[in-house]
Chains A and B, each alone.
Chain A
Amino acid sequence: MVTMPQRLPALAACALLLPLSAWGQTLEIATDQSPNGLDPQLATAFSTALIDSNIYEGLTAIDQDLRVVPALSDRWTVSADGLVYTFHLRNGAVFHNGREVTPQDIIANLARVRDPKTGSPFASRLAGVKDVSAAGADGVSITLAAPSAPFLAQLASIAIVAPEAIADLGSKPVGTGPFRFKEWVPDTDIALERNPDYWDKGLPALEGLTFDIVPESTAREAGISSGTYQLLPVLDATSAVALGGQPDVKLLETQDLAYSLIGLNTSRPPFDKPEVREAINMAIDRAQLVEAVYFGRGVPGGPLSPALTQWALPTGDFPCYKPDPAGAQKKLAAAGITGKLKITLNVLGSVQQVVDVAQVVQAQLNQAGFDVSLNVQEQGRFIADWRASNFDGFVSLNSGGPDPDDYFGRTFQTGGATNVFKYSYPALDKQLIEARAATDPAVRKKIYDDVQRILACTGPVVHLAYGALFAAVRDNVQGFVPMATRSLRALRATTLAK
């Protein structure tokens, strides 16, 4: 492929330049997409969260095992009726501009997220909040309209920003996290530097982080193999397999909360009929999909990620998950559909893994007697159609939440904020409201078991698979662990050996 005349000058030049590659204590991280703006209260993209998880903190945080842990608030109390949460603000927590975090800041932040004029996608997480007020010099109390079990987990997603920096938040973030913003060169890199005033003394260990935007997977792989980059935080299975044998490169793995799915529009034929939705479930061979797209490094998934061990039902509990093309045809006949059912699926084109999933799903459905066409869209168009519920069905990758209520409520409840499927099932709505108010885990568990059974086969989402989440690091990177939420929180404790 590489002809000699091209190779020779490259070889010669390389021999000359080799000794010059060296780096300081800044970690070079290669990621595939630019963040969609850095305002943590506006943007929800993975690419934004990846960076913001180092700059910002919420009152609470989610740890590696998906438990709620203290962050800006080091301790809190909950009233007996489950309505009033009182958070104590950590002493010594200061914004990157040097100002100490006060209760007024927290109040201003929550008000900004809830203000419809802000247009924050996180507003729904605070929908149950009735009142926020200061509790002494270093405390905040939040009153809810009704008890809410997932509230502490939801608070973790509300990043606390310096109110005086709000005008420029998209480009010049000011938070309280272990790293502070240094520079953003669009489509090139984003540089963060160590926050010397971080409340957790001694952390972070690194001098800085540089997020290099490298769209090509070949280039990211070449970059980590040659040592240009020291961390690839999110890898798909193809890259992971390709990097498997590389010397000096270590692969890390965790279960991803994000999952691939087919979303179905229940307000349009043919997916307005539950039988047709069930038929799709039966026509799909999830094990084969996992093999084909995830190279076997993933698991077929139900409505909840297997990472949520205390909630998720095993997929064996869902009868429609057994591949059964003949059964699928029977379901279609029951719904009054004869002949090949023509469907068009929109596909999120900016993620190669999604395009791969779509191609396998298409082949499987076509073999089971459907006639599927794919419409691979670039991100902007996909989102526009998604938002307007302008689709028969779509194939995408969704980030799951650490708490079932948060996900189920906004996705499947009638009128839910991300219920673009226009799914409405009153019995399910009732159960979801009941579960949210229940504080007894056993009661919640029972309700959510039922909910999962309903959603798995006839819900508007065909849950396909949860892949393993890979990260690749150079051998000298120590202390980094990938997290199911794709947060890079672990970077605060990461070190770089010479």
Chain B
Amino acid sequence: MIKALLIRAGELLFVLFGVSLLTFMMIHLVPGDAAQIMLGASDTSPEHVAALRHRLGLDQSLLHQYLLWIGAALQGDFGTSAWTGQPVLHEIAGRVGVTVELSVLGLTLAVLIAVPLGCLMATLRSSVADIAARVLSVIGVTMPSFWLGAMLLYGAGAIMPRMQVVGWVPFAQNPAANLQRMILPTVAIALPVLASLSRVVRAAMLDALSQDYTRTARAKGVTEWRVVFIHALRNACFPFLTSLGIAAGYLFGGSVVVEQVFALPGLGRLMVGAIAERNYPLIQAAILLATVTFVLVNFLIDLLYLVADPRARTS
């Protein structure tokens, strides 16, 4: 098992290296650079652009720039933001909290609703209610979150015009104001996750309910409620765990859009902004961080799976 872990860790490093190289190549293939955008569409001569480019270090060869970057990054120095001059890690650190809070709230809401809903869907299988529940969950998955977000904003404005629905107040500064502003974003980001999780729960429950041990339990006279929520649910945990890893990816993708809609200062917005501004050091570090998180979460889930399920260990 140690060996397997080491191999996984090696693969992980390879993936991170690949992601950093890919990011680097991609952002440098995009036309326009930070110097041009900073100066804007105004009257500057090519010499002016060149001067600024030199100051930002954009006039060196790509390979040179990449080696410089990765050399520093390996020592924990991710450079300074091309626009604000602040250390990149400092800028990112200020944003992580928002995305984490949004993700945690969204995931919590999703799990709280998805588990009972999935169980319900599994027990009601093949009836009209099941179809209705499934169609609803598919709608949840297929509803674009920016559209849902805009609709929620519009709806909230029509129903409760005085409710504070946009912007960000740090939780530490004013918990109530923070939570009030997080209600709509949480709903917007939770819905697709909720819908997909409830489907996973349903499938896993169906599987568990058809197993021998549930039949045995039923035969022994255990109530149907206990069969579903105690025996079957416990065994439905594993596929559920795996899909949580995928949900982490979902949440991140969703946060890019939801943060944009509700003007939340999270990582997703930071990245979209950094790409538009060609803020290379920031893009590099932020994408690497997002990837590390995604890969680590899935790695941990694999690990959990390995530890918890003896069958997975042998295969």
- A residues 252-282 in Cβ contact with B at 8 Å: none
- Looking at the complex, which one of A1, A13, A119, A216 makes contact with B263 (CB distance below 8 Å)? A216
- Residue on B nearest A215 in the bound complex, by CB: B260
Interface of B is mostly: helix
- Judge whether B265 and A36 touch: CB under 8 Å: no
Which stretch, B123-131, B151-159, B235-243, touches the partner chain A?
Answer: B151-159
- Looking at the complex, which one of A34, A37, A121 makes contact with B44 (CB distance below 8 Å)? A121
CA distance A333 to B84 in the complex (A): 54
- Residue on B nearest A18 in the bound complex, by CB: B162
- Judge whether B83 and A37 touch: CB under 8 Å: yes
- Looking at the complex, which one of B49, B179, B265, B276 makes contact with A387 (CB distance below 8 Å)? B49
Q: How far is the CB of B167 from chain A (nearest CB, A)?
A: 5
Chain B residues within 8 Å of A225, by CB: 157, 161
- Judge whether B163 and A116 touch: CB under 8 Å: no
- Looking at the complex, which one of A2, A18, A216 makes contact with B155 (CB distance below 8 Å)? A2
Interface size class of A (residues with CB under 8 A): 35 or more
CA distance A378 to B154 in the complex (A): 27
Is A112 at the interface (CB under 8 A from chain B)?
A: no
- Looking at the complex, which one of A1, A17, A214, A385 makes contact with B31 (CB distance below 8 Å)? A385
Chain B residues within 8 Å of A380, by CB: 30-33, 36-37, 276-278
- Judge whether A11 and B38 touch: CB under 8 Å: no
- Looking at the complex, which one of A21, A43, A170, A213 makes contact with B39 (CB distance below 8 Å)? A43
Q: How far is the CB of A259 from chain B (nearest CB, A)?
A: 14
Task: Contacts A121-B43, A380-B32, A380-B276 given; indicate if A222 touches B37 (C-beta within 8 A).
Answer: no
CA distance A172 to B270 in the complex (A): 20
CA distance A213 to B163 in the complex (A): 19
Is A9 at the interface (CB under 8 A from chain B)?
A: yes
Q: How far is the CB of A167 from chain B (nearest CB, A)?
A: 9
CA distance A116 to B152 in the complex (A): 51
Task: Contacts A186-B84, A226-B162 given; indicate if A218 touches B150 (C-beta within 8 A).
Answer: yes
Chain A residues within 8 Å of B153, by CB: 216, 218-219, 222
Q: How many inter-chain residue pairs (CB < 8 Å) link A and B?
A: 211
How many residues of B are counted as interface, with CB atoms below 8 angstroms from the partner's CB atoms?
65
CA distance A81 to B198 in the complex (A): 83
Which stretch, B17-25, B59-67, B71-79, B180-188, touches the partner chain A?
Answer: B180-188
- Judge whether B48 and A121 touch: CB under 8 Å: yes
CA distance A416 to B45 in the complex (A): 10
Task: Contacts A43-B38, A216-B150 given; indicate if A7 touches B157 (C-beta within 8 A).
Answer: no
Chain A residues within 8 Å of B48, by CB: 116, 118-121, 123
Is B210 at the interface (CB under 8 A from chain A)?
A: no
Is A91 at the interface (CB under 8 A from chain B)?
A: no
Is A495 at the interface (CB under 8 A from chain B)?
A: no
- Looking at the complex, which one of A117, A188, A228 makes contact with B166 (CB distance below 8 Å)? A228
Is A131 at the interface (CB under 8 A from chain B)?
A: no
Q: How far is the CB of B192 from chain A (nearest CB, A)?
A: 13
CA distance A227 to B51 in the complex (A): 44
Mask: chain A, 346-363; 1 = CB below 8 Å from B; 0 = not = 000010000000000000
- Looking at the complex, which one of A44, A227, A416 makes contact with B40 (CB distance below 8 Å)? A44
CA distance A497 to B183 in the complex (A): 30
Is A124 at the interface (CB under 8 A from chain B)?
A: yes
Q: List 25 A-B pairs, Cβ < 8 Å.
A: A2-B159, A7-B155, A7-B159, A13-B179, A14-B163, A16-B176, A17-B180, A18-B163, A20-B180, A21-B177, A42-B39, A44-B39, A120-B48, A121-B42, A170-B83, A171-B86, A172-B85, A213-B263, A223-B166, A226-B162, A226-B166, A380-B33, A380-B277, A383-B36, A417-B44
In the A-B complex, list the 5 residue pairs whose CB atoms are closest, starting with the nearest. Answer: A417-B43, A188-B265, A119-B48, A380-B32, A384-B32
